[in-house]
Structure 1
């Protein structure tokens, strides 16, 4: 599922995750960026 935040698209697995993302998008963006930087 796609969620758009500040003009950028993010993808989540289900409507539950989408709702959590919408409640606190900065938290999930930071977590995703941290995971992406790990080797």
Structure 2
């Protein structure tokens, strides 16, 4: 499921992950970018 944040789109697997992302988006963005490398 897609989440838009600061002009970027991130994908999470479920509403629980979406809620966690919304609580601390910077933490999850850092993890997403680390996994992309």
* TM-score bracket, shorter-length normalisation: 0.7 to 0.9
How many residues are matched?
Answer: 37
Q: Structure 2 length normalisation: TM-score?
A: 0.88
Segments of structure 1 that go 5 or more residues without pairing to the other structure are: none
Q: CA RMSD in A?
A: 0.7
Segments of structure 2 that go 5 or more residues without pairing to the other structure are: none
Runs of 4+ in 1 over 6 A off after TM superposition: none
